[in-house]
Amino acid sequence: EDHRPRPPRSPAGGHHQAARAPPFLRPRMLGARKLHLLAGLKVGGVTLRSQELDFYLQRYIQISGLSAVVCFLTFNGMIKVVIPEGQQPDSEQFPGGSWEVMTYYISAALTMVLSLFNLFLTSFLVVNAQSLALRGPPGAVADCVKACRDNWRLCRYTLAASIVTLFVTAASCVWMHIDYMDCDEVIHVVNTTNVSKSSNWESEFSSGGAMPSPSLPPPASPSPALLRLHGWQCVMTEHMAATVFASVAIFFAFLMMVRHMRQIAVMLAIPADHMTVGDLMVERQSEAGGTYSVDLVAEASTPMERIPMVR
């Protein structure tokens, strides 16, 4: 037989309800409930911030992949491009290289530099932002979101600039490889004997010497001095139309790309007054009689935005 004491039963046959906590313990329970509520808010705020961080990281990964492709194409074109023989830097027609070759290499170098800049910046942000958000102190997720937001516009503008220089590289490559001009070397021979003779007489008279008498026999004529002038005479060929058509096609494709991107940007634009971010702001009362907003996820201890108290 079980001799253990049993709880008293109520007249209705059930157990008595648990006694309520004494009054001196109720404020502590209220404080615990508030701490529990704030902890829940912080957990929810961290979840919102994590979603916002994932938004930036996914787009940084896409920009990094696109920059890597552009950089590879540009580098491959720079090392495998074949410069025509008449446009070499050591050619007689174009000493130092033609304008097509200079434009090609300058635009290709700019494209590769901008793509490498974007590639390293986005990769650095992705790797370090994930590390700080996962293993950082309280408020690290908000710091990662802020760092990604601050560099987002720079990465977008750099990507746009690299695409523009890529189109310039393509257009200059067309002008460099299509033989749109037929140039022939022209040599002009100029007799400078009379010019040298008259200049010698004028120098003697200007130095104070007497003019030679007309009755005296003229001096012996010097040996003829011939000056050869080299030049190039260029005429347009039938390939000029193809060159212009290819350039117009590249420019038209670039304009169509910009036009469609602007249309998509307008359709998917978010109004500035309806932008939703992942911060979790709460209002607290200050000693001066006003209120200030604090981000719970960022663990901010300084006021971020002062709001006048309405009583």
93 and 167 assigned to the same domain: yes
pLDDT score at 243: 79
136 and 190 assigned to the same domain: no
Domain residues for the domain of 187 are: 181-202+226-238
189 and 107 assigned to the same domain: no
What is the value of pTM for the model shown? Answer: 0.63
pLDDT score at 304: 40
pLDDT mean by block of 10 residues, the chain; 311 residues = 56 53 60 76 78 91 94 89 72 68 90 94 92 86 88 93 92 78 60 54 52 53 57 63 84 91 87 71 61 60 42 35
- Residue 22 placed within a domain: no
If you write DSSP's letter for every residue of 265-294 in order, what string do you get? HHHTPPPGGG---S--EEEEE-TTS-EEEE
For residue 62 the two structure tokens come to: 């896409």
73 and 109 assigned to the same domain: yes
| Nearest residue to 55 via CA among 161, 137, 167, 133 | 133
Q: Which amino acid is present at 176?
A: M
150 and 233 assigned to the same domain: no
- Residue 307 placed within a domain: yes
Residue 91, number of CB atoms within 10 A of its CB? 15
95 and 145 assigned to the same domain: yes
pLDDT score at 301: 45
- Residue 17 placed within a domain: no
305 and 187 assigned to the same domain: no
Asked whether the beta carbons of 154 and 219 are under 8 A apart, the reply is no
Residue 231, number of CB atoms within 10 A of its CB? 11
124 and 194 assigned to the same domain: no
247 and 298 assigned to the same domain: no
285 and 251 assigned to the same domain: no
pLDDT score at 308: 44
